[in-house]
Structure 1
């Protein structure tokens, strides 16, 4: 018996960039689910840089003949549940992130996820907004929440991108004082999200500006991977027990070399003198529930740069790769029929 099919954006090569290879498959195989998994009918998904960086880094997925579906973030309805799933009902609205998705992502009509990768959509939260929070929200909450208490000072490098817009708001929701960076045109956006101080990297030297404040920050979250020396000079602005958490990095050999140096070069040989961590994001229902509650309460809001319709998915990837988005890029996933279909 043949498996059900679905519409999905797929790619089987990366020559010229992922966006040049995306094609709609009207008869892609609908994903199967295990006993502890859930099949979600996707109505909206959001893009993240990892959606193309991992693929274009040379991972040989397409060389194996695979037709891959990109994407990790989603919001939609429960279509089917495995035999061991009793916490979700058919038709229930949910949102989350398929953590670790590489080849069977969310840019299709259906996606299969484990129970720890989603949670119920709170009343009053818009589908498009919830679709943006899974990956970046979990990354920032896992980088910030375990390392601070109310009243602490937090530095967030890269406040206007898809990740940083949530980082600012999460730190503020936890009662922290927030300093962030962005370009001149995004200063007001960062201020509107609650940033107490914004460093314009177009007109100021970030490290010098931080060092001038002295060692006052409990936590530094780097969503960018630049400028060079941000970690190695962190003792000038981080408290002795402070921590530097690497969330984003420059996708280049230079960026990899810098992270390797941060990890391996000891302080007496010119390395950093503060605790250094590369964030490895984990699936977390509790984290998603907290993010959903903050969205419902208005303590956190989604920042949508642009919303694309199904047919314009390649254009969304083109914009993502410019690195100039203010907030998140959302794609509506076209459903054939059914209540709430977009």
Structure 2
């Protein structure tokens, strides 16, 4: 089968299309003929640094990157009970761990996948995986109706899903983005938009119940300033704060947390239901052919995607 291999740490030029053996499946796994792959910063950033690659994939090279897939099942393991050959499925495979998603065929545990809604494409299904799961797993059980929720980078992969999910939970949603993406974030459910180029959110917002951050750094540091007493912040990055920000956290009794998304068929089926009832819609920013994976990585590295970048097979 065809696969994209990363031969060594470095830029997109180190991604090579080649022929490898088709994977064999375990008793609890299915073999998926992949039709679409979604890219994430978690795919793109670690490839530059050996230490990051080693922590995620071990020291063996080459490696096959990626976790987000949609496709059709061609083989099922003996212990698989809820999926069958011919089912169209989508999911985030083996995260955290090795997903081997940049390939024509992927071996995936049954409990990492959901059957695709009939009304969406493989591209839309692949898009609604790691980023959507991240938003769902952060917000689920933590948002109450009427809460004021701030979504940082609202036009990004996680952000655009988080806006929609928080809105479905009954929140009043404020999102930051550039001015050019204002209409987009408002169209998917944000009640209020802040242009981070023209406004400092920490100077115009107060009494926020919940912040979802995917940017870290000064954005994370300034986010604690807008939270109300007892408010909550979740970041997808390092939650370490400087001394002055920690003083605010202590004074206001804030809860500061980070989270690592995990594979889950249960959560994938929640997303499936939202896709089916129209409360969640992925935005596909650009689509690339499988052989143009390096160009797809370059696009994600620009940090300007609105929604998701997709690769098709």
TM exceeding 0.5: yes
Q: State the shift of 1:152 in Å.
A: 1.5
Q: State the shift of 1:57 in Å.
A: 3.5
Q: Which residue of 2 aligns with 1:339?
A: none
After superposition, give the CA deviation of every residue in 1:282-332 in whole Å (9 maximum; x if it has no partner).
Answer: 222121111111112211111011111122111010111010111111100
Aligned pairs for 1:115-134 within 5 A: 115-134=110-129
**Pairwise CA RMSD of aligned residues?**
2.3
Mapped partners of 2:66, 2:272: distance in 1? 20
Q: Structure 1 stretch 115-124 or stretch 129-138: which is displaced more? A: 115-124
Pick from 53, 70, 81 the counterpart of residue 45 of structure 2: 53
Q: Which residue of 1 aligns with 2:209?
A: 218
Q: State the shift of 1:208 in Å.
A: 1.1
Q: Which residue of 2 aligns with 1:196?
A: 191
The answer to whether 1:276 aligns with 2:231 is no
Mapped partners of 1:284, 1:154: distance in 2? 25
5+ unaligned residues in a row in structure 2: which ranges?
none
Mapped partners of 1:272, 1:239: distance in 2? 7
Pick from 14, 33, 38 the counterpart of residue 21 of structure 1: 14
The answer to whether 1:207 aligns with 2:202 is yes
Mapped partners of 2:214, 2:99: distance in 1? 26
How many correspondences in the alignment? Answer: 310
Q: State the shift of 1:109 in Å.
A: 0.6
Mapped partners of 1:268, 1:168: distance in 2? 26
The answer to whether 1:73 aligns with 2:68 is yes
Q: Which residue of 1 aligns with 2:290?
A: 310
- The answer (yes or no) to whether the contact 1:67–1:103 under 8 Å persists in 2 is no
The answer to whether 1:91 aligns with 2:80 is no
Secondary structure, counterpart of 1:163 in structure 2: helix
After superposition, give the CA deviation of every residue in 1:33-60 in whole Å (9 maximum; x if it has no partner).
Answer: 2111121111001100000223323335
5+ unaligned residues in a row in structure 1: which ranges?
1-5, 250-255, 334-342
Using the size of structure 2 for normalisation, the TM-score is 0.92
The answer to whether 1:331 aligns with 2:311 is yes
Aligned pairs for 1:103-118 within 5 A: 103-118=98-113
After superposition, give the CA deviation of every residue in 1:195-223 in whole Å (9 maximum; x if it has no partner).
Answer: 0001000100121122xxx32x2211002
